[in-house]
Structure 1
Amino acid sequence: MQIISSPPRSGFSASCSLSGSFLHLGFARDVIFRSSSPSRRKIPLRFPRASSSSDPLLVQAARGDLVSRPPAWMMRQAGRYMAVYRKLAEKHPSFRVRSETVDLIVEISLQPWRAFHPDGVIIFSDILTPLPAFGVHFEIEEVKGPIIQNPISSEDDLNNLHSIDLDKLQFVGESLKILRSEVGEHAAVLGFVGAPWTIATYIVEGGTTRTYANIKSMCHTAPHVLKSLLSHLTRAISEYIIFQVKSGAQCIQIFDSWGGQIPPNAWEQWSRPYIQEMVRVVRKECPQVPLVLYINGNGGLLERMIGTGVDVIGLDWTVDMADGRRRLGNKVAVQGNVDPAYLFCPLPALTDEIHRVVRSAGRRGHILNLGHGVLVKTPEEAVAHFFDVVKGLRYDSLFKESMVENLEPVA
């Protein structure tokens, strides 16, 4: 199948400009969120300074706008749980080929859109995709995963790095343009990147690891090398985010997937400042594009994550949504956090869990998602049910039901 690129919709590039002024998180004044459940704490969230009803539902929710229901998408939305993806992967067995060829990227990204019509369509890619564009070459083995032949362990190794060459990532830009044209205003097109710390773990360890021993040791044995690496990654990834936005991405998720593998005080030193700097740089050029931060195992980091300046914090399933809302207060919107295992449960149990999470998150500033990615062998019928349930929800009726339930006497 040949996909012809269409020019981006007129006006989309206005969301990313050099001259745009920036109000932190895009919020102008505080308002009080009122839960109809008397037992819930009232959580203040804030209106954005400027919003547009023409923006996709997901973008509106990320900015804190009043919406009729929570938008929903899933991490690892496209992939091995779908039969149509497995069939395509048999024909194109190389992951690098699938994630670096425009026609295949677009086709795979649109597979769940055609099947389930989520509120966010995320580009099929990988957090390691931009590495060769700034001097780090890698391969992906079917069993071992990513392999970096020349990991960085000394100051001399840093000489192999160079400024990011976005010309080598045109397949990403072209794919985002096509996705934006295909999806239109019916859903938000999502881009994503890895956070500097998470990307650095692969570059220092030479691939995936269970211990992170080399990079944790580097924090103490060669901190100047690690700081230089993280600073280089920060500049490169910031440019990559801006490139994605200019190509059509309407929201960006930052995956600090392995930020939860270090103690919170170490995360404060080795991850948060670099994410903060990325947010600062991106905000300067793209002030209206929501940024989402997700860390796997972030229960001990929630309050610290606020300081990065992102619009939305993703919660994994080990954090109770109501507790997460309480701890984060009015600083950010939230995303998540249904346990992916619920997609293997009877559908009524999945429905109840969706309702519980949505009620706990409140009526504003919530993007429904899983607490981690879709698991392999997840039934497609369950994924369809997930989206059917959320698209049938309405905040007015859901919270009216909650009030009635709380008023009913206990037998």
Structure 2
Amino acid sequence: MLRPHLSQDRLISALSGRTVDPPPIWLMRQAGRYLPEYREVRAKAGSFLGLCLNPELAAEVTLQPLRRFDLDAAIVFSDILMVPYALGQKVEFVEGEGPKLEPVRSAEGLARLDRAAAEARFAPVYETLRLVVTELPSGVPVIGFCGAPWTVATYMVEGAGSKDQAQARLWAYRDAASFQSLIDLLVETSVAYLLGQVKAGARVLQIFDSWAGSLPENEFARWCSTPTRSIVAGVKAEAPDVPIIGFPRGAGAQAETYARETGIDAIGCDTSMPLSFMRETLQARLPVQGNLDPLLLLAGGEPMEARVTTILNTLGGAPFVFNLGHGILPDTPPEHVARLVELVKGKA
């Protein structure tokens, strides 16, 4: 059973530039394998993609962490690779290996992608959102999301995850014009996808650029900041009041220009981002989100509690959303998540 939420729209208040005490908290991958009830539903679905495409089951796992923990938002259960799937690229998730895609590495491969069919393929995600919204307590928004064009492109080109995103980087270096065509297609599709999520009930959006850190300085603006700015502008043209969080993982010092140039409402920070930089450089401009190490959450105990206290003391006096620096790890004990939420909420 979902608990009532007494304070209204704590997350949206923080993302709107207000200081909320205690700060709101939600966690990337808060619905996932660390929860035994998730594993039960995942077994029923038959496959990860099957779970993403089953609105009833996806809604159930979206809501599961809200039943356990006093979190300030749900995030729709889906995956950033829904966009290439919707464009007609072959996508599967292999147990123990991760995503596998039929690589797109040329103009000919681009020509086989089908934007016209995308909306129908996004329909299960929209239905999941509609189901979740009917179950959420007042004051708890649901977050919609997409992958940033650069990150999604790396999977589409590599055909899988990779350590250095080499194939995508080489395509961008060797034929920037055709790689730009892929990025443009992803921008257009992502805008439509995010707006569809808003229409289905999402009240906050996040753009995950998980591989932003692989881009050198002279390429970062072209393939990370500029496409993200285009997505934000496209969404804001029709949904100006929906806050958008950008998460440029690994951006380092380039996070400052990303925050300044993309038009996002808040910036998510990975674990490597110094708290002093977050406070003095980023939080002076916009709300920040982050950035507890997921491994500390897995470890728990005094080291985790000490770091939580440091993060709260450093960032809690200004607009701030507590989160991890990346997603919850599958081996994380649920009781560590419960303890984290108690600490952030001041209930310890």
**Taking structure 1 as the reference length, what is the TM-score of the superposition?**
0.79
After alignment, is 291-300 or 71-80 more displaced? 291-300
- Return the match for 1:357 from 311, 320, 335: 311
Could you say which residue in structure 2 is the equivalent of 1:103? 56
Provide, for residues 118-137 of structure 1, a one-character-per-residue CA deviation record: whole Å limited to 9, x for no partner.
11101111001132322322
Please tell me whether the aligned partners of residues 57 and 188 of structure 1 are also in contact (alpha carbons under 8 angstroms).
Answer: no
After alignment, is 107-116 or 357-366 more displaced? 357-366
1:303 deviates by: 1.0
In structure 2, the CA distance between the partners of 1:385 and 1:196, relative to structure 1 (3 Å rule), is same
Displacement over 3 Å in runs of 4+ = 344-349
- Return the match for 1:87 from 29, 32, 40: 40
Residue correspondence of structure 1 range 52-63 to structure 2 within 5 A? 56-63=9-16
Could you say which residue in structure 2 is the equivalent of 1:321? 275
1:204 deviates by: 1.1
Counterpart check, 1:75 vs 2:31? no
- Structure 1: how far apart are the matches of 2:163 and 2:263? 29
Please tell me whether the aligned partners of residues 73 and 369 of structure 1 are also in contact (alpha carbons under 8 angstroms).
Answer: yes
Could you say which residue in structure 1 is the equivalent of 2:296? 342
- Return the match for 1:240 from 193, 196, 200: 193
1:226 deviates by: 0.2
- Structure 2: how far apart are the matches of 1:292 and 1:157? 31
Could you say which residue in structure 1 is the equivalent of 2:322? 368
1:333 deviates by: 0.7
Could you say which residue in structure 2 is the equivalent of 1:124? 77
In structure 2, the CA distance between the partners of 1:66 and 1:365, relative to structure 1 (3 Å rule), is closer
Counterpart check, 1:159 vs 2:120? no
Residue correspondence of structure 1 range 91-240 to structure 2 within 5 A? 91-149=44-102, 151-164=103-116, 165-240=118-193
Counterpart check, 1:377 vs 2:331? yes
In structure 2, the CA distance between the partners of 1:346 and 1:270, relative to structure 1 (3 Å rule), is closer
Secondary structure class of the residue paired with 2:279: helix
- Root-mean-square deviation (Å): 1.8
Secondary structure class of the residue paired with 2:89: coil
In structure 2, the CA distance between the partners of 1:203 and 1:344, relative to structure 1 (3 Å rule), is closer
1:365 deviates by: 1.3
Could you say which residue in structure 1 is the equivalent of 2:265? 311
Please tell me whether the aligned partners of residues 21 and 316 of structure 2 are also in contact (alpha carbons under 8 angstroms).
Answer: no
- Letter of the 2:346 counterpart: G
- Return the match for 2:219 from 260, 266, 275: 266
- Letter of the 1:284 counterpart: A
In structure 2, the CA distance between the partners of 1:92 and 1:162, relative to structure 1 (3 Å rule), is closer
Segments of 5+ residues of structure 2 without an aligned counterpart are 1-5
- Structure 2: how far apart are the matches of 1:346 and 1:89? 26
In structure 2, the CA distance between the partners of 1:111 and 1:221, relative to structure 1 (3 Å rule), is same
1:172 deviates by: 0.9
- Structure 1: how far apart are the matches of 2:280 and 2:217? 19
Please tell me whether the aligned partners of residues 264 and 300 of structure 1 are also in contact (alpha carbons under 8 angstroms).
Answer: no
- Structure 2: how far apart are the matches of 1:243 and 1:303? 29
- Structure 2: how far apart are the matches of 1:337 and 1:253? 15
Number of matched residues?
341
1:299 deviates by: 1.6
Secondary structure class of the residue paired with 1:271: helix
Identity of aligned residues (%): 35
Greater Rg over alpha carbons, structure: 1
- Structure 1: how far apart are the matches of 2:97 and 2:275? 34
1:60 deviates by: 0.7
- Letter of the 1:271 counterpart: C
Secondary structure class of the residue paired with 1:337: strand
- Letter of the 1:233 counterpart: L
More helix by share: 2
1:54 deviates by: 8.2
Please tell me whether the aligned partners of residues 113 and 121 of structure 1 are also in contact (alpha carbons under 8 angstroms).
Answer: yes
1:329 deviates by: 4.7
Provide, for residues 12-67 of structure 1, a one-character-per-residue CA deviation record: whole Å limited to 9, x for no partner.
xxxxxxxxxxxxxxxxxxxxxxxxxxxxxxxxxxxxxxxxx985110110111242
Could you say which residue in structure 2 is the equivalent of 1:254? 207
Secondary structure class of the residue paired with 1:209: coil
1:379 deviates by: 1.1
Please tell me whether the aligned partners of residues 283 and 318 of structure 2 are also in contact (alpha carbons under 8 angstroms).
Answer: no
- Structure 2: how far apart are the matches of 1:79 and 1:95? 11
**Taking structure 2 as the reference length, what is the TM-score of the superposition?**
0.93
- Structure 2: how far apart are the matches of 1:315 and 1:272? 15
- Structure 2: how far apart are the matches of 1:378 and 1:62? 28
1:363 deviates by: 2.0
In structure 2, the CA distance between the partners of 1:351 and 1:54, relative to structure 1 (3 Å rule), is closer
- Structure 1: how far apart are the matches of 2:110 and 2:277? 42
Please tell me whether the aligned partners of residues 23 and 344 of structure 2 are also in contact (alpha carbons under 8 angstroms).
Answer: yes
1:167 deviates by: 2.3
- Structure 2: how far apart are the matches of 1:273 and 1:95? 32
- Structure 2: how far apart are the matches of 1:216 and 1:68? 43
After alignment, is 56-65 or 137-146 more displaced? 137-146
Please tell me whether the aligned partners of residues 7 and 139 of structure 2 are also in contact (alpha carbons under 8 angstroms).
Answer: no
- Structure 2: how far apart are the matches of 1:346 and 1:109? 24
Secondary structure class of the residue paired with 1:384: helix
Secondary structure class of the residue paired with 1:292: strand
- Structure 2: how far apart are the matches of 1:345 and 1:257? 23
- Letter of the 1:338 counterpart: L
- Letter of the 1:128 counterpart: L
Please tell me whether the aligned partners of residues 28 and 326 of structure 2 are also in contact (alpha carbons under 8 angstroms).
Answer: yes
